[in-house]
């Protein structure tokens, strides 16, 4: 059955890909985005667009919506350390306003974009949802605070909600890909080097306790991630707050990512070793057993070369636009 969905942050990377998947499945999509970090041209053609802030969600939400998918948030770990107030205000304050608007209008289903950063330094690998949450940045702390807020809203007021804790989202889908300004994520940076837009990629630390000394992350294709959101909409049950990790359960080191990019792009991609970046755990790998069991999620694009190839196609396209 088709539904009507509000997608906050639908002009951003993950939000726009999920919006496209909802449209492809025959749903009606309204994107709410204030364009502080999103791109108007990122909003899929078939979606309606409201340029506005989640703090004013009450202005736009009405009982005709079947659910909200909530992506609007600031997401730069480093910036959150320098300007924590900015993150608490938007990520937490904004979500409080959104939840209030949902309560008032009786929109009782929510899928929330949470993160592996809620766990902080892992106590074991792979990470499960019952592991301790001790975020090492204000960014992670704000996302964890929202997870707690949603849990309370479900228990007290019958919201049906799923928080999806993303590991390292990468790749592109339907012309939507990863771009931040300034860019801070590994794969887009490596591809900028391949395009000749940067001289070299800095490896942030090669003395971690991993086989090649560089950090290991669990990269997940944005289209696999998007599919989990549609399944989460179906799984959201009144009064329940389900939390699911989303990752492939495979870890790749920074050096393996760079090597893969060399193979995929055919460019040399020079590297330099730089100091560690503050707050980076050595290994972050997900157990997605809950998503598989509870959502019926079955990711099909786990191959790192395929993920990098899709990101490369997108990187070349946006380079051509400039
Ligand atoms: N990284 C790196 N050089 C860069 C950007 C990232 O070595 O220019 C490393 C970073 O320290 C981490 C991994 O690549 O170990 C993934 O970082 P990213 O920022 O893409 O995602 P995060 O894991 O922080 O969510």
Atom 14 in ligand 1: residue holding the nearest Cα: 186
Summarised one tens digit per residue, pLDDT across range 251-294 is: 999 999 999 999 999 999 999 999 999 888 999 999 999 999 99
* Averaged pLDDT, 47-61: 97
Q: Which atom of ligand 1 sits closest to the CA of residue 257?
A: 14
CA of 213 to the centre of ligand 1 (A): 14
The reported pLDDT for the residue numbered 322 is 55
- Res 182: pLDDT: 84
Which alpha helices (H) appear in 5-137, and where do they start and end? 13-24, 77-82, 84-87, 94-105
CA-closest candidate to residue 277, choices 254, 252, 258, 256: 254
Average pLDDT over residues 61-89: 96
Q: Residue 293 to residues 22, 91, 280: CA-CA distances in angstroms?
A: 22, 29, 30
Which ligand 1 atom lies nearest to the CA of residue 214? 15
Rounded to 10°, the helix 222-235/13-24 angle is 60
Average pLDDT over residues 126-144: 97
- Minimum-distance ligand 1 atom for the alpha carbon of 77: 24
Lowest mean pLDDT among 5-9, 78-82, 269-273: 78-82
Report which secondary-structure segment, H or E, holds 156: helix 138-157
Q: How far is CA 227 from CA 1, 72, 171, 209, in A?
A: 16, 19, 14, 34
Q: How confident is the model at residue 250 (pLDDT cuts 50, 70, 90)?
A: very high
Residue 199 has a pLDDT of 97
- What's the ipTM? 0.98
Report CA torsion sign: 298, 313, 39, 45.
Answer: negative
Q: What's the pTM?
A: 0.96
Q: Is the peptide bond before 126 cis (omega within 30 degrees of 0)?
A: yes
Ligand 1 pocket, 179 CB below 6 A? no
Tokens encoding 27: 């749903």
**215 CB less than 6 Å from ligand 1?**
yes
pLDDT for 176 beyond 80: yes
Mean of per-residue pLDDT scores for the chain: 96
Note whether 228 and 292 are within 8 A (CB).
no
Task: From 74, 185, 189, give the residue whose CB has the most ligand 1 atoms within 8 Å, as the site to mutate.
Answer: 185
Query: Tens digits of per-residue pLDDT, 201-217?
Result: 999 999 999 999 999 99
Q: Is 95 helix (H, G, I), strand (E, B) or coil?
A: helix
**CA dihedral in degrees (293, 168, 40, 18; nearest 10)?**
-10
Cβ of 169 closer than 6 Å to ligand 1, yes or no, is: no
């Amino acid at each position: 059955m088709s539904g009507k969905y509000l997608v906050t942050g639908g002009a951003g990377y993950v939000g726009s890909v999920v919006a496209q998947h909802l449209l492809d499945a025959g749903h009606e999509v309204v994107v709410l985005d204030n364009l502080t970090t999103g791109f108007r041209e990122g909003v899929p053609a078939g979606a309606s667009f409201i340029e506005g802030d989640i703090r004013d969600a009450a202005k736009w939400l009405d009982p005709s919506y079947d659910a909200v998918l909530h992506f609007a948030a600031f997401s730069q770990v480093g910036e959150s350390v320098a300007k924590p107030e900015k993150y608490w205000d938007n990520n937490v304050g904004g979500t409080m306003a959104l939840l209030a608007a949902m309560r008032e209008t009786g929109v009782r289903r929510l899928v929330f974009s949470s993160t592996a950063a809620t766990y902080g330094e892992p106590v074991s690998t792979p990470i499960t949802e019952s592991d301790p949450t001790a975020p090492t940045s204000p960014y992670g702390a704000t996302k964890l605070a929202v997870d707690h807020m949603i849990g309370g809203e479900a228990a007290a007021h019958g919201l049906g909600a799923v928080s999806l804790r993303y590991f390292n989202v990468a790749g592109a889908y339907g012309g939507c890909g990863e771009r931040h300004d300034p860019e801070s994520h590994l794969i887009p940076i490596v591809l900028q080097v391949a395009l000749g837009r940067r001289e070299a990629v800095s490896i942030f630390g090669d003395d971690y306790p991993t086989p090649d000394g560089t950090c290991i992350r669990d990269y997940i294709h944005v289209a696999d991630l998007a599919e989990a959101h549609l399944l989460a909409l179906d799984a959201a049950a009144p009064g329940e707050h389900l939390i699911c990790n989303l990752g492939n359960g495979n870890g790749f080191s920074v050096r393996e990512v760079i090597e893969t990019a060399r193979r995929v792009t055919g460019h040399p991609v020079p590297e330099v070793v730089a100091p560690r970046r503050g707050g980076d755990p050595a290994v972050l790998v997900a157990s997605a057993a809950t998503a598989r069991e509870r959502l019926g999620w079955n990711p099909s694009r786990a191959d790192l070369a395929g993920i990098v190839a899709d990101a490369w196609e997108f990187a070349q396209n946006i380079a051509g636009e400039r």
